[in-house]
Amino acid sequence: MKKKKKISARKLIKSLRNRAKKLWRQRVLERWNNKCVICGSTKLPNCHHIVPKETFILLRYDPINGIVLCPKHHKFNKFSAHKNPLWFVSMLVKLMKAHELEHLLTTMEKIVPFEYKLGVNEYIQIIDNLNKESKDGKKIS
Ligand SMILES: [Zn+2]
C-alpha cells in the first residue's frame, strides 16, 4: 500500500492562515473600492486593521475591521492612522456605519482565553465565511 504524504499540522495552519489573510485583504479592498478612504489614491493600497489584530483575535479576519489607506495615510503623514489616533477615530466615525462601529466595540468585549490560537477548523470556517462575503460571489484563487 502506498503511503500517503503527510503534511505537518504547522504547515497546514500556515497555509490556511495565508489563505485567510489574502481573502481578508480582498474583502477589505472590495468594501472600500480599492482606494485610500482619505485621499482616493489607488497606489499601493494598505489594508489597515482598525482594532489591533494581535490582541483581538476574533476581529483579525473580520472585513469590518479593515480599512484601505495609502501608505501616507496609513503610517507616514502626521495625519495617519498610526501617527494620529484621535484624527483617525474622527475619520472612522464619518466613514463607517454606526452598526459597524458597534460590531467592533461589542466583539472587542468578548472574552477569549489567554493564548488562544486558531486551529484548522476555525481557519476553515473563517475562509468559508470570507468566501461567502464576496460581493460578486467571485472566488479568489
Ligand atoms: Zn491617502
46 CA from centroid of ligand 1 (Å)? 10
pLDDT (tens digit, 9 = 90+) per residue, 30-69? 999 999 999 999 999 999 999 999 999 999 999 999 999 9
In the three-class reduction of DSSP (H, G, I as helix; E, B as strand; rest coil), residue 1 is classed as coil
What are the E-state strand segments in 1-141? 46-49, 66-69
Tell me what pLDDT residue 141 has.
45
Distance 32 CA to ligand 1 centre (A): 12
pTM above 0.85, yes or no: yes
Measured in angstroms, how far is the CA atom of residue 88 from the centroid of ligand 1? 12
Q: Please give the span between the terminal C-alpha atoms of the chain, in angstroms, as a whole number.
A: 33
Domain ranges of the chain: 24-113
- Which of 8-22, 27-41, 78-92, 105-119 is predicted least confidently? 105-119
- Cα 23 to middle of ligand 1, angstroms: 22
Dist. CA 64–CA 67, nearest whole Å: 8
Query: What separation in Å is there between the alpha carbon of 33 and the centre of ligand 1?
Result: 13
Query: Ligand 1 mean position to 118 CA, how many Å?
Result: 33
Query: Cell triple for residue 117?
Result: 490560537
